[in-house]
Amino acid sequence: MSVNRKLGFLFFILILSCQLSFAQKSKTQLQKEKQENLEKIAQAEKILSETKGKKQNTLGQLSALNQRIKTQEDLINSIRGEMYLLNDEIDENNAIIESLSKDLDQLKKEYAAMIYAASKASKGQNKLTFLFSAKSFNQLVMRYKYLEQYSAARKKQAEQITKVQEVLADQTTVIQSKVSEKNILLAENVQENKSLAELKKSQSSLVTNLQKQENKLKRDLEDRKNAVAKLDKLINDIIKAEIEKARIAEKSTIEASTKLASEFADNKTKLPWPVQGFVSQKFGKQNHPVLRGIVMNNTNINIQTKQNEKVKSIFSGIVSKVAFVDLVGNTVIISHGDYFTVYAGLRDVFIKTGDQVTIGQEIGTILTNKDGVSELKFAIHKSAAALDPMLWLAKN
């Protein structure tokens, strides 16, 4: 295989291997993911600091700390992903450098052999002596062509040596840059792992303190169950009333409602979040984060956020009800045809029953409870059936 063809083949292998190695995520994707994780850490840190401000051990503080740990772990995974990618690139560059070095050695040997062969063929004579010592005109022409071709071949060989040397130097520079980049990431990884260890230590301490408050937690849980039961009854009563209203509505109203419901359904997995934050309690059944043997059943998701955050409508619709529920706060129910979205845990409300709202419209401000926790209870219903909002909202 010629050197030019071999160089081309090496570059093809380099490109191919870069596409295959860490195929699930590119370097750009990993760096973007890393930046997103840093932003989430800042948000989680802000929420956590607000819950710490009350100097109490609360479930809200534990949720914020758990989220902070999760974002820290995600950041570490992003850094490790970059490191794995760099390792692959360094290995590939080392392979190319090794191959190029072998090519360079071979080219130099071939070049030396050519010089030796030329010297031997002319028996130490200079070019003119070699030409004019020909025994015939034809031999003179043949010797001239031979010297011309040999000179061109030797020039080409020298050019190839220079070319390989340049490529080799470039690859060496690239690998030095990647090694430096990797060393920076290694230092970051060590530091972030130290932060993670401190966070987990705080988590363990907080859980231990909360476990000592078992009786208080059980009383709070019972109060929450009663409050949620009132909220669920309010939602069900409103939905029943809306269904009855739709049953006797005019044809044009029914058609508009059906169209709105269809548009809502078409946007499944693409709907915006009602507030920025993280899910502190998922939909459905799950174990209590501290009390053993206690299973909670959630008909909504809880989104923990920062103080004074504005809550927004996730889709266009009509406000079916604005009401206040003890231990929950103000609640807004918006109808989107036979779909309903519920926003509970508001301090202030900017809209009233019967208003038409648009997607992204601010409908109120989040309520912050006595423990410094700002949390929205968000639900989606289709008629009377509660749906998992996480299956409808866009990936956060």
Print pLDDT tens along the chain (396 aa).
Answer: 454 555 454 444 444 444 444 444 677 887 888 888 888 888 888 888 777 665 567 888 888 889 889 888 888 888 888 888 878 777 777 777 777 677 667 767 766 776 666 666 555 455 556 555 666 767 666 755 665 666 666 667 667 767 767 776 777 777 777 778 788 888 888 888 888 888 888 888 888 888 888 888 888 888 888 888 899 899 999 999 988 888 887 788 888 889 999 999 999 999 999 999 999 999 999 888 888 888 888 999 999 999 999 999 999 999 999 999 988 999 999 999 999 999 999 999 999 999 999 999 999 999 998 888 999 999 999 988 999 999 999 987
Give the domain extent around 24. Answer: 3-211
Q: Please report how the helices 3-20 and 59-122 are oriented relative to each other, as an axis angle in degrees rounded to 10.
A: 170
Asked if residue 396 is part of any domain, the answer here is no
Q: Which of 179, 195, 211 is the last residue of a domain?
A: 211
239 with 345, same domain: the answer is: yes
Which of 141, 176, 211 represents a domain boundary (last residue)? Answer: 211
Residue 268 and residue 281 share a domain: yes
Long-range CB pairs of 217-226, under 8 A, 24+ apart, other chains included: 217/59, 217/290, 217/291, 218/291, 220/59, 221/288, 221/291, 221/294, 221/296, 223/327, 224/327, 226/327
- Helix, strand or coil, per DSSP, at residue 42: helix
Count of domains for the chain: 2
| Residue 230 and residue 143 share a domain | no
Q: Are residues 199 and 287 in the same domain?
A: no
Residue 88 lies in a domain: yes
Token duo for residue 325: 């529920």
Q: Given 181, 211, 241, which residue is the final one in a domain?
A: 211
CATH code of the domain in which 229 resides: 2.70.70.10
